[in-house]
Structure 1
Amino acid sequence: MDALEVLVDAAGRPVEAALALRPQLARDVLLAHPGGHDNSIAWLLWHAAREIDVQRAQLSGTQEVWTAQGFRERFALGEAGDGVGYGHTPEQARAIRIEDADLLLEHLAAVTAELVAYLRTLTEADLDAVIDESWDPPVTRGVRLVSIIDDAAQHVGQAAYAAGMPAGA
């Protein structure tokens, strides 16, 4: 198995985990703020998809799935949905209210499919290309891809943990 095959496999893990959560994702669970945290379970799943989408679009030089496949209109979050959630104030995070689990999962699956398609265009040598020199050490394409996948996996894992908490926790 080469590095690209590993990345393709890893890229699919967050959406697989999210799809397994579907039976638990009732409206009240999606909108819950476990422990009083500003990020709801819906926010966590929305963010996982948005961060994949925005960063994959930047890497590939293509349009975001958010707009290209009509998710912006379907989510109807306005400008709040156009970002990825990094640096959200408590009010901004709580403004991301999504009651449709199937839409969240469809979006995550769509962005994952685009990420996998992008990965399949790369060679192992492409992974070594420096894409961001503002960091020390500079960030390579491979490091950025690992970061994208890791961030999505962590947020889906947080959603799974929170969805399993007793009501009112």
Structure 2
Amino acid sequence: MDDVTTGTLRDLLLDGFGRIREGVPQVVDGLSVDELLWRPDAQANHIAWLVWHLARQQDDQVAHLAGEQSAWLGDGWIDRFGLPYAPDAHGWSMSSDDVGRFTVTDPELFGEYHDAVHDRTATLLQRLDADAYERVIDANWDPPVTVSIRVVSVLGDALKHLGQAEYVRGLVQRRR
């Protein structure tokens, strides 16, 4: 990968993650705590959990790639949210009961936390050069997972969850 390709890749990734940064506050803006916690049915995820999970998975994976502690733990977001989960929880494999135990007191925390995660993501992307993008981080897959593949996976997961949260927001607004 040459410098031009690396710069193009970085620009595309920054644009993609920037769209998530813009979307997180928009999906929670103007909703009450009850609306953020509303679930279409007992097995569904609510907006609050979806937005928290998209930020947590991005935070953990970017921290791992950067060789740093997550913002969740290192910057005290775990205490600000005060969730009834283990410190390393990020949403994977959570049951419907776990989702139902999610609480929120300040809807603005979602945008603030994701901003912190986005800033760390942008910093990582700015640091990566061609060799870093091609570095294998998990050889247990065929083909092996590189940094670039992991970053795209994180972006894809966050976009999916943002879209799900936007859909649930539409359902919430139709209930009004």
TM superposition shift of 1:24:
3.9
Q: Percent identity?
A: 36
1:73 aligns with 2:79: yes
- Output the aligned Cα RMSD: 1.7
Aligned length: 168
Q: 2: CA distance between counterparts of 1:21 and 1:89?
A: 23
1:167 aligns with 2:169: no
Letter in structure 1 aligned against 2:8 = D
TM superposition shift of 1:153:
1.0
TM superposition shift of 1:78:
4.4
Task: Give the conservation status (yes or no) of the 8 Å contact 2:17–2:118.
Answer: yes
1:134 aligns with 2:127: no
User: Is 18-27 or 56-65 further displaced after alignment?
Assistant: 18-27
2:128 to 122, 132, 150: 122
CA deviation profile, 1:105-143 (whole Å, cap 9, x unmatched): 111111011111111100133211111112221111001
TM superposition shift of 1:3:
0.8
Task: Give the conservation status (yes or no) of the 8 Å contact 1:65–1:110.
Answer: yes
Q: Which residue of 2 aligns with 1:84?
A: 90
User: Is 59-68 or 93-102 further displaced after alignment?
Assistant: 93-102
CA deviation profile, 1:26-71 (whole Å, cap 9, x unmatched): 2121111123334211000000110001111111111110122211
Q: Which residue of 1 aligns with 2:54?
A: 48
Q: 2: CA distance between counterparts of 1:25 and 1:8?
A: 28
Q: What is the TM-score with the length of structure 2 in the denominator?
A: 0.88
Q: 2: CA distance between counterparts of 1:51 and 1:66?
A: 10
Q: Which residue of 2 aligns with 1:60?
A: 66
Unaligned runs of 5+ in 1: none
TM superposition shift of 1:81:
5.4
User: Is 36-45 or 102-111 further displaced after alignment?
Assistant: 36-45
1:146 aligns with 2:156: no
Q: 1: CA distance between counterparts of 2:149 and 2:112?
A: 26
Letter in structure 2 aligned against 1:113 = D
Q: 1: CA distance between counterparts of 2:61 and 2:82?
A: 21
Task: Give the conservation status (yes or no) of the 8 Å contact 1:39–1:93.
Answer: yes
1:105 aligns with 2:111: yes
Task: Give the conservation status (yes or no) of the 8 Å contact 1:75–1:98.
Answer: yes
Report which of the two structures shows the higher radius of gyration computed on alpha carbons: 2
Q: 1: CA distance between counterparts of 2:83 and 2:155?
A: 24
Letter in structure 1 aligned against 2:12 = V
1:37 to 43, 46, 50: 43
